[in-house]
Amino acid sequence: MATLGGLLVLVFWASRPTWSPEMRLWKAVGDAAFGLLLLTLAVGPLARLVRRTAPLLAWRRQLGIWFAIAASLHGLLVVHGWARWSLRRFLGYEFIPQLGRDVRLEPGFGLANLIGLTALGFALALAATSSDWAVRRLGRGWKWLHHSALFVFYMSLLHAGYFLFLHYTASFHKQVPPPDWFRVPFLVLGGGLLALQAAAFLATVADRRGRAPS
């Protein structure tokens, strides 16, 4: 899984040669984390629909753990490289010398970062409890906690969607990179996972109805 994650980072990093080095790196790591999250959540419904893929379930736990690791690295790179360990910068405020004070230049930036931070918190909780010991220790609570994986996915969609479609737009105070090529794949992959989950849910409902006594 570490090799897969590293390859994803390399592919995304190589695909944006004109970006600044720092932005290029943290974006590549973030996109790789999103890819690992998609794979983690696709394994279950895929195994439900195509029984021959059931052996992939053995890799789901490792995929989820490496997603959390990649997401943590992405967050660390952003906090260090962009926010510079400043909470105000993390929330979208920057000091404007002409005004002599901090100004919120990007209204959605702080909210998107808080959404990403929330998703990361849940991802770390899931990774920390991805063990047989945790399953035994938490009992029914383990299953409830791990249902929040979908919450992490939805929060990740909002977080990544903001930076793909809203943040890097024409502005009077900054230079913006060219439109990110990952916009269309992001929509296709995100929508594809939702469709896969819906299909697996419908298959489960149909199977239960077929087994119900008449």
The CA distance from 139 to 127, in Å, is 16
Q: Nearest Cα to 167, choosing from 85, 78, 102, 87?
A: 78
pLDDT of 175 above 80: no
Please report the pLDDT score of residue 105 as a whole number: 72
Res. 170 pLDDT band, cuts 50 70 90: low
- As a whole-number percent, the residues of the chain with pLDDT over 70 amount to 95
The CA distance from 8 to 3, in Å, is 9
pLDDT of 160 above 60: yes
Compute the C-alpha angle 105/27/121, nearest 5°.
Answer: 80
Across the chain, mean pLDDT equals 90
The CA distance from 33 to 68, in Å, is 8
The CA distance from 119 to 103, in Å, is 26
Q: Nearest Cα to 197, choosing from 37, 53, 43?
A: 43
Please report the pLDDT score of residue 38 as a whole number: 97
Backbone angles phi, psi at 79, to 5 degrees: -65, -40
The CA distance from 175 to 165, in Å, is 16
Please report the pLDDT score of residue 195 as a whole number: 96
